[in-house]
Structure 1
Amino acid sequence: MRVLLVTTGSRGDVEPFAALAAGLARAGHDPLLAAPRRLTEHAAGRGVPVAPLDDGIFALQQEVAGKGTRASVTAARSALPLLRRWLDDVATLQDSGADIVVYAPKSLGAHHLADRLGVPSIAALPVPLFSPTARFASPLSAVRPPRFLNRASWRLAGAVEAPYRRMVRGWRSEVLGLTGPTPNLTDRVAHDGVLHAWSPHLLPAPDDWPAALAPIGFWSAPSDDWTPPDNLTRFLDAGEPPVYVGFGSMLAKDPDAFTLAVLDGLARSGRRAVLATGWGALRPSHVPESVYVLDQAPHDWLLQRTSVAVHHGGVGTVAAALRAGVPQVIRPFLGDQPFWARRVHEIGIAAAPLTGRFTADRLAAALDDATPMAGAAREMAARVREEDGVTAAVARIERTVARA
């Protein structure tokens, strides 16, 4: 079975797909992972076949981050041509010989490619976005509406694709040669079915969902081939487990001030720390000996050697901290991050989310609040590690192809 997997976004978006690709290969199938060029190198190094796609849109996002409204408006005018280049790269996968396309809905064109190939497709999501429930509001909702408006809030997912719908419709016709109406994402995901790739211990299926929508577990793969630098090993061995601080691909409006608040909060708490600078939320220049700075490190290796994980609330980092069994402190930035920040707090393994103004005092207090949750975090980790989301996903994909 030849499986084409198409995803986009940050490293946290790509790594679960890489883990699924590896699981498909172990099961005797032939996967191909198509993802932004800058994020395929790691997967290729682990033996996953990759198709690098245009990633100009991410360079644009980094260029304008924190530069104000005028830069954002200029970037918006540049975004559509870059997204068209992305779609044109997706179209080059027509010769992949795929028997099925597994796609992240925000990749925009993958399900249309499946139509061109005449094969089934299935959506994959690490967060609930297209499956309404009355039990809680859409994770994209910026506010928590009254309960009777929960189901209505799920229309937000459809609005996300609205700025690109005309462009996608033209690309589908001109490049793929497909005629007829262009299905919107909400309807298409409902038609295709979806693999909900998060742990039911983190968020169980609401009781008004059909069984097919139940979450099947995270998709992860160990970083067995990673060797830490000697100075990191020495730092970890030199004292109590440090706090991990990293905000992934998030970009702070004022990285210098944000970094100073982080360092001041750590000093006030009296804790050692490892800072992962990522894409730019943290920009340390002078740090005390109690702080070790690195670009990034595999979460599955590093987090189990820390005491608390301070991060942005991306579901990939939430999952890694869950498996590591460490309590969490979350400073959400955007999207579904506030949703996950509230959720891990509700289940007793994270401090209250650091929304609003971020200060050193609030960070120090949150670290004090999170530390006593270590026991609950370890118990949750034991349950999450028993799951095998990759194997469950492979079985669903096999059944979908067999039915087709």
Structure 2
Amino acid sequence: MRPLLITVGSRGDVQQFLALARGLLAAGHQPVLAAPRRFAPLAAGSGVEFAPLNDEMLAMQDAVAGQGARAAITAARSVRPMLRRLLDDQAALAARPADAVVYHPKSLGGPYIAEKLGVPAIAGLLIPLYIPTSAFPSPILPARLPALFNRASWRVAAAIEAPYRGTVRTWRAEALGLHDGFLPMAELVKAGSVLHAWSPHLLPPPEDWPAPAHPIGFWTMPADDTWTPPERLARFLDEGEPPVYVGFGSSTTGDPEALTATALEGVRLAGRRAVLATGWGALQPGAVADDVLVIKEAPHDWLLPRVAVAVHHGGVGTVAAALRAGVPQVVRPFLGDQPFWAARLHRLGVAPAPLRGRLTAPRLAAAIEDAAALAPTARTLADHVTAEDGVATAVARIAECVESRS
């Protein structure tokens, strides 16, 4: 097969699609991964062909992060021309031969590229977004509602996409020559094939979902046996008890210095050492004590099994890595689906209650101690999650879609 994979978003969105591409390559197929150009180094050396996409919108998000509502509103005025350039890069992909298109809905163009090519369009969903259920509300719902409104809450995904629908419709006609039969993304996902790429042990399928929508397991990158930790990191881990990992990815409160100070004071009050990952600017430490090591990042599959507790933002990529590592978690959710996953981890018994609202050092210290007591449950759940192979299942499902179409 020659599958075309299209994803847009953060590293978490891209890395799981890269894991799928590597699985397809290992199975003897010829995948192409199209993703924002800033992630070309992530794919380098994997053997997967990489097609760079415009990443102006990511750069804009980086620029306005923490700058307040006025900066966000000003930046929003330039979104449509940026989106059109991103979509035009995707239109160029239609010149490539492909047997199927696996797309992240954030791409906005994926299913229409498949339509142009006349091949199956398969939505690769890293979180539940479009298949409604009465069992729980949409994970991206910004407010809690009575359970009576669970099914209705799933319309929020379509509402988020709606402001860009006119741009997508115009692009579909002008760039792809598809003038008739436009359907919005939400309808295309619900009517087409879906791969739900999370562990059923984290979130099992609700009873009102059809079998093809059942989750198949995380798309996990194979361990990098060539990665060697920096000497200072290896030495720090060897010099004492397993530390607490603290990392919030790209999430931020607008005051990364204050967030960092609170996090480190919470770890200190808990009587623990810490490895603090600055990531993409969420944490900005000044001078730190000897029992704190500051790094930019390290592979989660290497680092997390070596820590006592993982304190993070609740992004599903970090959730997956911590589950596989068998480490208890403390989640301070910021936005989007993060509160949803934080609540799920608490319900599963691998994390204390989410740290919503204002984070204080005493609250964080108490949560770290509560989490440490959950280590046996975390290790047991890890045995189940690591036994899954979401990538292999996805590869088989993609092959079935292609064969049924031929």
Is 2:97 the counterpart of 1:97? yes
Deviation at 1:52, TM superposition (A): 1.2
1:279 alignment counterpart: 280
Residues paired across the two proteins, number:
404
Query: Match of 2:172, as an amino acid?
Result: R
Deviation at 1:185, TM superposition (A): 1.3
Q: Report the secondary structure of 1:292's partner residue.
A: strand
Deviation at 1:293, TM superposition (A): 0.7
CA distance in structure 2 between the aligned counterparts of 1:110 and 1:251, rounded to whole angstroms: 29
Q: What does 1:263-302 align with in structure 2 at a 5 Å threshold? A: 263-302=264-303
Deviation at 1:46, TM superposition (A): 2.1
CA distance in structure 1 between the aligned counterparts of 2:147 and 2:109, rounded to whole angstroms: 34
Q: Report the secondary structure of 1:179's partner residue.
A: coil
Q: Which deviations, in whole Å up to 9, do the C-alpha atoms of 1:180-235 show, x marking residues without a partner?
A: 13211111001222100000101100011111111000010222232111111000
1:124 alignment counterpart: 124
2:140 alignment counterpart: 140
Deviation at 1:47, TM superposition (A): 2.0
1:340 alignment counterpart: 341
1:238 alignment counterpart: 239
1:23 alignment counterpart: 23
CA distance in structure 1 between the aligned counterparts of 2:273 and 2:394, rounded to whole angstroms: 39
Q: Which deviations, in whole Å up to 9, do the C-alpha atoms of 1:360-390 show, x marking residues without a partner?
A: 1111111011010000000000111110100
- Confirm or deny: 8 A CA contact 1:251 1:279 kept in the other structure: no
Deviation at 1:44, TM superposition (A): 2.0
Deviation at 1:263, TM superposition (A): 1.1
Greater shift, 137-146 or 374-383, is seen at 137-146
CA distance in structure 2 between the aligned counterparts of 1:264 and 1:129, rounded to whole angstroms: 37
CA distance in structure 2 between the aligned counterparts of 1:8 and 1:188, rounded to whole angstroms: 18
Q: Report the secondary structure of 1:40's partner residue.
A: helix
1:69 alignment counterpart: 69
- Confirm or deny: 8 A CA contact 1:33 1:49 kept in the other structure: yes
- Confirm or deny: 8 A CA contact 1:252 1:282 kept in the other structure: no
Q: What does 1:222-233 align with in structure 2 at a 5 Å threshold? A: 222-233=223-234
CA distance in structure 2 between the aligned counterparts of 1:243 and 1:3, rounded to whole angstroms: 40
2:87 alignment counterpart: 87
Q: Which deviations, in whole Å up to 9, do the C-alpha atoms of 1:24-77 show, x marking residues without a partner?
A: 011111000000111121122222211111111111111111111111111101
TM-score by length of 1: 0.99
CA distance in structure 2 between the aligned counterparts of 1:64 and 1:15, rounded to whole angstroms: 24
Query: Match of 1:317, as an amino acid?
Result: T
Q: Report the secondary structure of 1:195's partner residue.
A: strand
Q: Report the secondary structure of 2:31's partner residue.
A: strand
Deviation at 1:270, TM superposition (A): 1.1
Q: Report the secondary structure of 1:208's partner residue.
A: coil
For the aligned residue pairs, the C-alpha RMSD in angstroms reads 0.9
Deviation at 1:144, TM superposition (A): 2.5
Deviation at 1:91, TM superposition (A): 1.0
| Overall identity of the aligned pairs, in % | 61
1:310 alignment counterpart: 311
Q: Which deviations, in whole Å up to 9, do the C-alpha atoms of 1:125-183 show, x marking residues without a partner?
A: 11111010001111011223111111011110111101111111111111111111321
Gaps of 5+ in 2: none
2:375 alignment counterpart: 374
1:254 alignment counterpart: 255
Q: What does 1:106-185 align with in structure 2 at a 5 Å threshold? A: 106-185=106-185
Is 2:316 the counterpart of 1:350? no
CA distance in structure 2 between the aligned counterparts of 1:86 and 1:224, rounded to whole angstroms: 35
2:194 alignment counterpart: 194
Q: Report the secondary structure of 1:123's partner residue.
A: strand
CA distance in structure 1 between the aligned counterparts of 2:335 and 2:18, rounded to whole angstroms: 24
Q: Report the secondary structure of 2:168's partner residue.
A: helix
Gaps of 5+ in 1: none
- Confirm or deny: 8 A CA contact 1:199 1:217 kept in the other structure: yes
CA distance in structure 2 between the aligned counterparts of 1:210 and 1:341, rounded to whole angstroms: 26
CA distance in structure 2 between the aligned counterparts of 1:175 and 1:306, rounded to whole angstroms: 50
Q: Which deviations, in whole Å up to 9, do the C-alpha atoms of 1:301-330 show, x marking residues without a partner?
A: 110111111111000000000000000000
Greater shift, 226-235 or 140-149, is seen at 140-149
Q: Report the secondary structure of 1:50's partner residue.
A: strand
Greater shift, 179-188 or 104-113, is seen at 179-188
Query: Match of 1:311, as an amino acid?
Result: H
Greater shift, 39-48 or 59-68, is seen at 39-48
Deviation at 1:251, TM superposition (A): 2.8
TM-score by length of 2: 0.98
Q: Which deviations, in whole Å up to 9, do the C-alpha atoms of 1:226-256 show, x marking residues without a partner?
A: 2111111000100011111111122331111
2:13 alignment counterpart: 13
Q: Report the secondary structure of 1:14's partner residue.
A: helix
Q: Report the secondary structure of 1:4's partner residue.
A: strand
Greater shift, 154-163 or 245-254, is seen at 245-254
Query: Match of 2:253, as an amino acid?
Result: A
1:389 alignment counterpart: 390
